[in-house]
Amino acid sequence: MVHEPTCPAGLEADRAQARDEAWFILHPGQDSYERDTTWGERAEAETMGVALPTRVRITELTPGGIRMRQFLYGGDAR
C-alpha cells in the first residue's frame, strides 16, 4: 500500500517499523517477536477489506535487513 507523505496511517506504519527495528537491535539473536497491532495496521486491513488482526508477528529474515509482518487473528496469537 502506498501512502501520501502526510497520511497518518503511513506515518504510524513508519513509526511501527522503527520500533520493530529497535526491538531487534536490543534483542540480538532473536529472529521474531509478537506485538499488538497498531491502529495504522488495523486501518490498512480495514481499507483492504480483510478481518482486523489482533496481533502481529515480526520475523527478521536477514539480520539488520528484511523483516516480515504476519497478522494474527484470535486463536493464532500466543
Q: What's residue 76's pLDDT?
A: 62
User: Can you tell me the mean pLDDT for 43-71?
Assistant: 88
User: Can you tell me the mean pLDDT for 25-30?
Assistant: 94
Crossing angle between the packed helical segments 39-47 and 8-26, to the nearest 10 degrees: 130
User: Can you tell me the mean pLDDT for 35-53?
Assistant: 86
Residue 21: pLDDT above 70? Answer: yes
Q: What's residue 29's pLDDT?
A: 92
CB 60 within 8 A of CB 66: yes
